[in-house]
Chain A
Amino acid sequence: MQILDKKIGHILVVKPLEKRIDASVATDFKDQMAAWVKAGNKWIILDLAEVDFIDSLGLGAIISSFKTVRINEGNLVICGPKETVMKLFQLTRMDRVLQIFVSLAGAVNSLKG
């Protein structure tokens, strides 16, 4: 799975370049996120601007990553979801659990300090 990562201060921004986070890539995605957390990243932004489809397994991988980060006393927030992806978060009520921002700037501000 192609994922771009960059640091903004202490924040890791992770941006999947795949159009779909689905059953075929969910395990790879989860493993990659776990590796970043193990490497010491506690404040993570998942930028979903390029993604236009997530299924329940992809969502499960995101939730698993969120749990891992929170157990390590950090946080994972989402930015830039498209309307279709946002709908999945709303359908599953994960929009009440995950902090979701329209823009990367908003997500960065939430994790600063």
Chain B
Amino acid sequence: MEILPPDSSITLSIESNLNNVCLLGLAIRAICSFVESNKNDSYDTELGIVEAVNNVIMHSYNSEPSHETRINVSIYRDKIVFRILDTGRGIDAETNILKCLPVDFTSEEIDNLPECGMGLGIINSVMDGIHYEVVERTNILTLIKIIKKKV
């Protein structure tokens, strides 16, 4: 995807426990606040990464503890690239990673209101690029956020 070395890069690692995702989110927010032009963009990015890592813990690792998820954050002039790496069962082949958020509900149809399954849709809504691959039994979800210039 990118052919230039990143300007700067850091790799974060958390154990597969949903209680740890908060700390990751705060770290991502801090990095993004430094790079991105407004608070809303930082929130969007934090949300996208949190959703992705939640999915890794709950689905790829089946909520089993003691598994590692690594999040590599690479900052370029015009974008931030996040690579989320895990060694769990990965995303099912049938799953559409470009899934959109559900829209087929109304305030009158209470039963149809979604209580789960919104993670991928949110990721696609808040991030500017998404790519998934498996390399040597490591699942790599790449999420891209374009940096909006400060006005």
A positions within 8 Å CB-CB of B: 20, 22-24, 53, 55-57, 59-61, 63-64, 66-67, 70-71, 83-84, 87-88, 91-93, 96-97
User: How many angstroms between the C-alpha atoms of A56 and B111 in the bound complex?
Assistant: 18
List the 8 shortest-distance A-B pairs measured between CB atoms, nearest first. Answer: A60-B115, A56-B118, A23-B18, A84-B43, A97-B107, A24-B19, A24-B18, A64-B115
* B residues 9-25 touching A (CB-CB < 8 Å): 18-19, 21-22, 25
- Alpha-carbon distance between A59 and B102 when the two chains are bound, in angstroms: 14
Inside 8 A of B107's CB, which chain A residues have their CB?
Answer: 96-97
Interface size on B, residues (CB 8 A): 33
* Of the residues B39, B113, B119, contact of A97 by C-beta under 8 Å: B113
Set of chain A residues within 8 Å of B101, measured between Cβ atoms: 91-93
- B125 near A23 with CB under 8 A, answer no
User: What residues on B are CB-neighbors of A88 within 8 Å?
Assistant: 47, 122
Complex interface: chain B residues within 8 A of A67 (CB): 110-111, 113, 115
- A24 vs B116: C-alpha distance in the bound complex, in angstroms? 15
Q: Give the dominant DSSP class at A's interface.
A: helix
B114 touching A63, Cβ below 8 Å: yes
Q: List 19 A-B contacts (CB under 8 A).
A: A20-B22, A20-B25, A22-B50, A24-B18, A24-B22, A53-B25, A53-B47, A60-B116, A60-B118, A66-B113, A67-B110, A67-B115, A84-B39, A84-B40, A88-B122, A91-B125, A92-B122, A97-B105, A97-B113
Residues on the B chain within 8 Å of A53, using CB: 25, 43, 46-47
Instruction: Kindly state whether residue B93 has any CB partner on chain A within 8 Å.
Output: no
Q: Is B68 an interface residue (CB 8 A)?
A: no
B21, A24: Cβ atoms under 8 Å? Answer: yes
Contact surface of B with A, Cβ cutoff 8 Å = 18-19, 21-22, 25, 39-40, 43-44, 46-47, 50-51, 54, 57-58, 101, 103, 105-107, 110-111, 113-116, 118-119, 121-122, 125-126
**Also in contact, A59 and B40, with CB within 8 A (given A22-B50, A97-B107):** no
Residues of B within 8 A of A93 (CB): 101, 103, 105
Docked-complex contact A56 and B46, CB < 8 angstroms: no
User: Is A63 touching B50 in the complex (CB atoms < 8 A)?
Assistant: no
A91 CA to B48 CA, complexed, in Å: 12
B113-A56 in contact (CB<8A): no
Output the least CB separation between A44 and chain B (Å).
Answer: 15
Query: B113 touching A63 by the CB < 8 A rule?
Result: yes
A64–B114 Cα distance when bound, in Å, is 9
